[in-house]
Amino acid sequence: MKKSIEKHAARFDEAASEYDDDSSEEYRACANLVIEHAAPDADEVVLDLGTGTGAIALALAPDAERVVGRDISEGMMEEAASKAADQGIDNVEFGHGTFREPEYDGTVSVVTSNFAMHHLSDEEKREAISVIGGLGPQRFVLGDVMFFGEPNPDEPFYSPEVDDPATVGFLADALTDAGFSLTAVERVHEQVGVLVAERGHSRDETDAQ
Ligand SMILES: C[S@@+](CC[C@H](N)C(=O)[O-])C[C@H]1O[C@@H](n2cnc3c(N)ncnc32)[C@H](O)[C@@H]1O
């Protein structure tokens, strides 16, 4: 992590009230794909890590039994909670938690994360993915800044001073090591993508169906 958790939290606290006004086409495409692939059933609990102002959590709540959002920025989560109240959504809860310590010990079927994990170093991402695997979800949908090819530091999707995106290959290996099978890779841009990882869904099983 190029900045401490406290510094990232302070940065997002400051940006929280304007965060929703400033989004790129690629961010929106990525968020939409995360929502589409998460597709929780009515009896499923979703855990959304790096939930921010609730873009993913609030979109999934009407379909899920419950959505739990975790983040390090109180300011971002205040925005999320206010939007939930405005929209009459009462099956979401937001609270402090990090990727590596989500502070959630209930059951979870689907874990989501959008545009947040790239703040961690690669080793921290590997640890976080292992923690997520340990929570026992059937599906983990990760949308983020990630490199499909050689990264161009002049591209707008990450700031080298604060962000630390991984390659798709690194993330795929970490997901596999955590017990997931990669079932879909969506390339939104050469630096933005969505990975869908599932459990108990090997290629052999898929081929046999
Ligand atoms: C770019 S915002 C994305 C928010 C939301 N997921 C979305 O799609 O709009 C990144 C969020 O990740 C949170 N974040 C950064 N580092 C984190 C960490 N280590 N654990 C949990 N959340 C983190 C930030 O506070 C911020 O709210």
CB distance 99 to ligand 1 below 6 Å: yes
Q: Read off the DSSP letter of residue 155.
A: S
Q: Is 112 in the pocket of ligand 1 (CB under 6 A)?
A: no
Q: Which two tokens mark 193?
A: 């993508």
pLDDT of residue 195: 98
The rounded Å distance from CA 139 to ligand 1 centre is 20
Instruction: Say how far apart CA 177 and CA 112 lie, in whole Å.
Output: 18
Residue nearest to atom 23 of ligand 1 (CA): 50
Instruction: Judge whether 94 and 77 are in contact, CB under 8 Å.
Output: yes
**What is the position in ligand 1's atom list of the atom closest to the CA of 9?**
25
Q: Are 130 and 173 in contact (CB under 8 A)?
A: no
Give the Å distance between the CA of 209 and the centre of ligand 1. Answer: 38
- Our answer on whether the CB atom of 50 is closer than 6 Å to any ligand 1 atom is yes
Measured CA to CA in angstroms, residue 152 lies from 46, 122, 143, 146, 194 at distances of: 34, 18, 19, 12, 19
Name which of 24, 31, 76, 82 is nearest 52 in CA terms: 76
**How many whole angstroms from its chain centre is CA 142?**
5
98 touches ligand 1 (CB under 6 Å): yes
Indicate the top mutation candidate among 35, 111, 112, 119 to test ligand 1's pocket, ranked by most ligand atoms within 8 A of CB.
119
List b or e across 105-134, with b for residues whose CB sees 16 or more CB atoms inside 10 angstroms. eeebbbbbbbbbbbbbeeebbbbbbebbbe
Each residue's pLDDT tens digit, 2-31? 778 899 999 999 999 999 998 999 999 999
Provide the residue count of the chain.
209
| Residue of minimum CA distance from atom 10 in ligand 1 | 116
Write the DSSP symbol of residue 49.
E
Q: Would you state the structure tokens that stand for residue 62, as one six-digit string?
A: 């009407």
Compute the distance between CA of residue 95 and CA of residue 98 in angstroms, rounded to an integer. 10
* Ligand 1 lined by 94 (C-beta under 6 Å): no
Q: What is the pLDDT along the chain (209 residues), one digit of tens a residue?
A: 777 889 999 999 999 999 999 899 999 999 999 999 999 999 999 999 999 999 999 999 999 999 999 999 999 999 999 999 999 999 999 999 999 999 999 999 999 999 999 999 999 999 999 999 999 999 999 999 999 998 776 776 788 788 899 999 999 999 999 999 999 999 999 999 999 999 975 444 444 44
CA 75 to chain CA mean position, Å: 18
pLDDT of residue 156: 67
Residue 172 sits at the vertex; the CA angle it makes with 70 and 136, to the nearest 5 degrees, is 45
Task: Using the mean position of ligand 1's atoms as its centre, give its distance from the Cα of residue 202 in Å.
Answer: 30
19-30 burial, b for 16+ CB within 10 Å, e for fewer? beeeeeebbebb
pLDDT reported for residue 206: 43
- Whole-number Å distance, alpha carbon 99 to ligand 1 midpoint, is 9
CATH of the domain at 38: 3.40.50.150
Residue with tokens 């161009």: 152
What confidence score (pLDDT) does residue 159 get?
A: 80
The finding on whether 191 has its CB within 6 A of some atom of ligand 1 is: no
Give the number of the atom of ligand 1 that is nearest the alpha carbon of residue 113: 6
Return the CA Rg of the chain.
16
Ramachandran region of residue 104, left (φ > 0), alpha (ψ -120 to 50) or beta? Answer: beta
- For residue 116, the enclosing domain spans 5-99+107-208
Domain count, the chain: 1
Residue 162, pLDDT score: 82
